[in-house]
Amino acid sequence: MHLVKIWSDSFICLTTYQYKQFHNGIEVEHAEFREHVDKTNGDSVVALSQGDIVEGLNVSATPSILESTALDSALFHMDVDSFLWESDSAEFYLREYPISYFDSTYYPKGLLIITINDTLEKEPSNYKLTWKFPILAMIDSQLHSEIVYVDAHDGSIVKRENAIHDNGTFNHVYHGARNDLDTRQINGDFYTVANDVLSGNTQMRDIWTTDDLNTWTARGMAKDDNDVWGNDHWGATSAHWVIQKSWKLWEFIYGRQGGPAGPNGTNTSGTTLQVFVGNEYNRNGAYWERSTSRIYFVRDRNNPGPFLGTLDIGGHEFTHGVVQNTANLGNSHESGALNESFADIFGMLTERLVFPSSFNWTIGENTGSTIRDIQTPSNMTSTIDGVARTHPEIYDGPNWVDVSNCRTVIPNTNDQCFTHVNCGVQNKWFNLLSIGGTTTVNGNVRVVNGIGIDKAGKIAFTSLTRLSWAGDQNYLKARANSIAAARVLYGSCSDEERETCKAWFAVNVGNNNCEPCIEWGPETVCYWCNSSGGTVAPLNTEEFRRQTKTISVYPNPASNYLEVSLPEMTREFKVNHGIKFEIVDLQGKLISVTSPNINDFRHTIDITQLTPGLYVIRCSGAGYMTSVRFLKK
């Protein structure tokens, strides 16, 4: 494991240590571990640790084929009209205005990475050393973007991912006359380049919107001589305004600075979000393009559909950018469905930011064609491969599409395994958590008491942007992360935590172990009930902190025996909360587990078998842990 990032987070008041898994020096994609540490009282208590690493990997880290050979293989398998780097004008403008990944050319650069093949089954043998290429091309005058993974040993295609989040087609858009278009004055003219200096920092809200082909230059930005735009450049100004509002939602409500690329050192300074409005790609839609991190609002040149620059759709596409830079959910299967759902949720919250009393729970309705309904997903259908699919509200229930054996195809005719259909379940979860309601699952009524949209939004935000989504990016992970988020934000045993859990149960994700059991005594301690009705975890950070506060190890460095002292910890606490000591190496690998002495505050641990080096000893139990480092001589 490599420590890749540390950030302090005023939103959840924790400091996060993010470790990524490396195998023989090569990053393993989507494998990481995070410790969220509470430092408020001067000591460091791990409030939450989570993540997923791949065990038992045995992948040769030395590629057998060159990057160029792998790229040849990738390109051989792509059926496109041309590649973007073959366009002189696209290359010219890219050199003038480079973007993060493609600094001077769209010609793909390969990244050596270990990834899982498209079986998505987490067997070690399914992990391959690959060359990963983002490839931009044109098909039928439409932009096409793919991520292609080529086996670095035999040159075969391990998997291909469509890198465009497309929203399909709709009809009309209006949010009325506005007077808050965020522009920048350059040499006497006003351009659709946002210029707000954000409160609390010196960063610009850097959004550049063009409607002049794919130029991205000042010349190409929409321009006006007096900042009274009227209907001039109506597409660019409308799109610019909704993206400006999307940025504002994340900035002012959730404290996330820097646009989709966001805070915490990932591209915070100098990040320009480019927005394109136009019709050169002969497609109707709105989408986030993953490789260039651009937002597109496009209409078919010959058969134009409605313009899609609405608050909910713009907020949806913007959120895809946030997802890419945080949870990094995929574009297919359950992972892709959750990606779409988060985009819907924060798209709707963008509309609510601007219209706090007249917002609604549907997406796209301003265009004349609603595409999703967060409150009642089953009101909507999507036609996929010629089959009309009603959106499900209950996991594994009516209209749910089982995607466990689904394979993505290119061209994308199956919606990357029904992502815009199965998103209905998390959408329904969010609506239930916000305003409450009931569902019926297998004939049984399930009730949720709403906690309000603001709190539900903060839980979704924390789950998405603060917690690890390593390993299986599926509905069970979404459940676990949001419950952990509610606990971090609102406290153990809080109503918010319970209702977050109950809302998942109401959409049939996970069980009904949501009711806390309170144990009354000299210290009131709150527990989660496990399925047999017993207790598994106390939910009182303060209590855990108090009991583990004075943990120490002696001697340090140590040779054969280590003495761990916990003078504050009571006998009852050890018994009731399953306290144990775990020794972990710096790769995060669990080496040993020892139970404590019940009747003594000193605990002797045999470390004769350890190879010399640095280790961490954790005192864990009750869902919490605290840790101390020691050196084995």
Binding footprint of Zn ion on the chain (CB under 5 A): 165, 340, 343
> Residue 578 CB, nearest distance to Zn ion (Å)?
43
Please, which residue, 194 or 345, has the CB nearer to Zn ion? 345
> Residue 313 CB, nearest distance to Zn ion (Å)?
9
Please, which residue, 310 or 541, has the CB nearer to Zn ion? 310
> Residue 423 CB, nearest distance to Zn ion (Å)?
8
Q: How far apart are CA 12 and CA 96, in angstroms?
A: 40
Closest among 430, 452, 453 to 506, alpha carbons compared: 430
Please, which residue, 343 or 526, has the CB nearer to Zn ion? 343
Termini Cα distance of the chain? 22
Please, which residue, 35 or 340, has the CB nearer to Zn ion? 340
Please, which residue, 344 or 497, has the CB nearer to Zn ion? 344
Inter-residue contact 374 to 428 (CB < 8 Å): yes
Give the bridge partners for 276, in sequence order: 210, 296
Please, which residue, 52 or 317, has the CB nearer to Zn ion? 317
Q: How far apart are CA 573 and CA 309, in angstroms?
A: 57
Secondary element (H or E) of residue 415 = helix 415-422
Residue with the shortest CB distance to Zn ion: 165
Closest among 114, 131, 132 to 54, alpha carbons compared: 114
Q: How many CB atoms lie within 10 A of CB 332?
A: 25
> Residue 79 CB, nearest distance to Zn ion (Å)?
24
Please, which residue, 114 or 343, has the CB nearer to Zn ion? 343
> Residue 440 CB, nearest distance to Zn ion (Å)?
29
Torsion of CA 394, 395, 400, 403, to 10 degrees: 170
Read off the tokens for 458: 């903060």
Q: Tokens 């909360």 map to which residue?
A: 577
Parallel/antiparallel/unpaired status of strands 164-166 and 157-162: unpaired
- What is residue 379's DSSP assignment? G
C-alpha angle 5-10-16 in degrees, rounded to nearest 5: 25
- What is residue 101's DSSP assignment? S
> Residue 312 CB, nearest distance to Zn ion (Å)?
11
User: Residue 159: left if φ>0, alpha if ψ -120 to 50, beta else—which one?
Assistant: beta
Q: How far apart are CA 558 and CA 566, in angstroms?
A: 18
Read off the tokens for 77: 């398998």
SS3 149: strand
Please, which residue, 343 or 467, has the CB nearer to Zn ion? 343
Please, which residue, 168 or 588, has the CB nearer to Zn ion? 168
Inter-residue contact 260 to 318 (CB < 8 Å): yes
Please, which residue, 51 or 314, has the CB nearer to Zn ion? 314
In DSSP notation, 318-352 reads HHHHHHHHTT---SSHHHHHHHHHHHHHHHHHHHH
> Residue 422 CB, nearest distance to Zn ion (Å)?
13
Q: How far apart are CA 50 and CA 52, in angstroms?
A: 7
Q: How far is CA 219 from the centre of its chain?
A: 35
Secondary element (H or E) of residue 294 = strand 294-298
Please, which residue, 311 or 569, has the CB nearer to Zn ion? 311
> Residue 374 CB, nearest distance to Zn ion (Å)?
13
> Residue 138 CB, nearest distance to Zn ion (Å)?
22
> Residue 628 CB, nearest distance to Zn ion (Å)?
45
Read off the tokens for 452: 């309000």
> Is the bond leading into 411 cis (omega within 30 degrees of zero)?
yes
> Residue 288 CB, nearest distance to Zn ion (Å)?
7
Q: How far apart are CA 158 and CA 614, in angstroms?
A: 37
Please, which residue, 337 or 579, has the CB nearer to Zn ion? 337
Q: How far apart are CA 261 and CA 268, in angstroms?
A: 7
**Residue 330 burial (10 A CB sphere; 0-12, 13-18, 19+):** buried
> Residue 194 CB, nearest distance to Zn ion (Å)?
23
Please, which residue, 128 or 165, has the CB nearer to Zn ion? 165
> Residue 167 CB, nearest distance to Zn ion (Å)?
5
